[in-house]
Structure 1
Amino acid sequence: MALPRSMSVLVLLFLVMWRREGEAATFTFVNHCTDMVWPGILSNAGSARLEPTGFELAPGAARAVAAPSGWSGRMWARTGCTHDGATGRLVCATGDCGSGAAECAGAGAAPPATLAEFTLDGSGGLDFYDVSLVDGYNLPVLVETSGGGGGPSGGPTAACAAAGCASDLNAMCPAELRAGGGAACRSACDAFAQPQYCCSGAFASPAACRPTAYSQVFKTACPRSYSYAFDDPTSTFTCGGRPDYTITFCPGATPRSGR
């Protein structure tokens, strides 16, 4: 049964404040969607696997996951997940990691999926984080910090900023990028596989790969998210002081998760 939002906030505050010795950060996942979501977690090469690597999260629920110092990786939400009647495998409409289970066990999200990306204790001892639409979009995601201090990469020091996309991009997705019957929006790179959209080949540099009409749709709706591969200055954020993080799915509680 879903928790009332007021109770979810109290649970969230308790989870964020609780940290065992030696942990660099606590990630608290919050589901404000009207449907169940299945968060997935993928550690980068050389980073420890977090436990769990995936789980189900009911509407209104929150769950904390601890990460060690130096961890880096990505997180996302799978939507529209059901168990196949013949095989029993978990199959998701968007963000499926292909594991066939709640745990992703080292597998990443199939695009399109909205990604939250983190590097803890990076250059200068700062954490780096962003919300990326480079692999497309399936639902709104907001990343907020608790404690610490920082700002956009290369920018002035300030209170740690929120990153993310709270808009329903599925409602404004160009017809040629729509996926899953409108449950997700593909990136132009995924849809067309052309170098100018993928920032590959002759376009594999910030000078050569510039915003396109498609990436501008994402950027206009979600200015604090990555819209294409070299969209760094306004999309990557830093935070010092060992903050904790809250990843909220459907922060505005307006769109439904994909089915």
Structure 2
Amino acid sequence: MECMKKPKILIASDLFLVSFSSMGAPVHVLCLLCLSLLQGAQSATFTVTNRCGYTVWPGILSNAGVSQPSTTGFVLYPGQSRAVSVAAAWSGRMWGRTLCEEDSSGRFTCATGDCGSGAVECSGRGADPPATLAEFTLAGGGGGGGDDFYDVSLVDGYNLPILVAPQSPAANGSRCQVTGCVADLNKSCPAELRVVKASGGGAIACNSACEAFGAAQYCCSGAYGTPSTCAPTSYSLLFKNACPRAYSYAYDDATSTFTCAAAGGGYDVVFCPGTSSLKSGGNPEAKGLPPTYSTMAFSGNGHSSTTRISLFVLLMIISSATWTQCW
């Protein structure tokens, strides 16, 4: 249905519409433009960076019922970064694939973290263990309240170091902390968990005990399917000691899940962060992870936040003037 006739009173939004109407754009098209801009404003950005000395192919999987972002897999050469936009209330996981190649038929596969799609895009497929996972449940921005939840998990094993840092400033009493696993667990991986290339050489990934042995006490299944019956094992403790902020087994929630007040921002996801500084997204320098669970608060880029807020207010004015004219 076309928009109804515009009111005679001119406000800021009318001036905006007049400037576009003068170029011949129908008002109902402008209504759709306003709505699409508003939807675009309600998004979060993940800045994915590769600081490894080798190429990494990030993979992205949305949770069930959540729309996939515009890309679900891409290549990052050493030193490269890429921004990926997701919905403000997105939930899912990210990981890195390594030692990838195309065969003579054009089928794409990776030695670690492969998603089985046969292409660089994972297209709704998850990582084949072992793989280090960065997991997110975003509450959504725009003043709706609530907290984002995020973690780095070794429950499905480990293939490369990952660091996650919120770009949003701490707000409403929430402490936005950095988390991750920056240790090289491939070097210290027990022989019975080690994954090596078919051609031999050093470990390229480290299995979880669940993946390696399939026993209920390692998988927190069957009689061990509750927090009270599934305790840490010598293998999960090996992961926990190396990466105290990462999930080491299924019920390792208390020291491994982090929250940040939803403010419409995003997150830095860094492969192989080592001890280098994390400057992306306006964060102050963060050299690796602290040895204890002390708070590491990050403040976002104030200028960009102000710009986003101003744009959102303007679009809200536009929307209020045009919404009643559409549909």
Scaled by the length of structure 1, what TM-score is found?
0.84
Counterpart for residue 210 of structure 2: 189
Which of 102, 105, 115 lines up with 2:120 in the alignment? 102
Rate the CA distance shift 1:68–1:252 in 2: closer, same or farther, 3 A. Answer: same
Q: Could you give the per-residue CA deviations for residues 170-208 of structure 1, whole angstroms, max 9, x where no partner exists? A: 000011000134100000000010110000011111111
- CA drift of 1:69 comes to 2.2
1:1-27 alpha-carbon deviations (Å, 9 max, x no partner): xxxxxxxxxxxxxxxxxx984333100
Are positions 1:175 and 2:194 aligned together? no
Q: Greater CA deviation, 91-100 or 120-129?
A: 120-129
Q: Structure 1 residues 253 and 78, CA, compared in 2 at 3 Å: closer, same or farther?
A: farther
Q: Offset of 1:125 from its aligned partner?
A: 1.3
Task: Please give the TM-score of this superposition, normalised by the length of structure 2.
Answer: 0.67
1:59 maps to which of 59, 78, 85? 78
Give matches, 1:193-204, under 5 Å: 193-204=214-225
CA distance in 1, matches of 2:150, 2:169: 13
Contact 2:175 2:259 in 1 (8 A): no
Cross-structure match for 2:150:
129
Matches of 1:178 and 1:127, distance apart in 2 = 34
* Residues 33 and 253, structure 1, Cα contact 8 Å, conserved in 2: no
Shift of 1:76: 0.2
Distance in structure 2 (CA, Å) of the matches to 1:23 and 1:33: 32
More helix by share: 2
1:115 Cα deviation (Å)?
0.2
Cα shift at 1:147: 1.7
SS in 2 for 1:176: coil
CA contact (8 A) 1:150 1:161 kept: no
- Cα contact 1:23–1:67 (8 A) shared by 2: no
Distance 2:194 2:220 in 1: 21
The structure 1 residue matched to 2:243, chosen from 216, 222, 227, is: 222
Ranges in structure 1 where 5+ consecutive residues have no aligned partner: 1-18, 152-156, 255-259
Task: Quote the offset at 1:46 in angstroms.
Answer: 1.1
Asked if structure 2 preserves the Cα contact closer than 8 Å seen for 1:24 and 1:120, the reply is no
Q: How many residues align?
A: 230
What RMSD, in angstroms, separates the aligned Cα atoms of the two structures? 2.0
Gaps of 5+ in 2: 1-37, 198-202, 277-327
Q: Sequence identity of aligned pairs in percent?
A: 59
1:162 to 165, 178, 181: 178
Partner of 2:255: 234
SS at match of 1:219: helix
Larger Rg: 2
Secondary structure at 1:127 match in 2: strand
- Residues in 1 aligned to 2:210 and 2:225: alpha-carbon distance in whole angstroms: 13
Shift of 1:35: 0.7
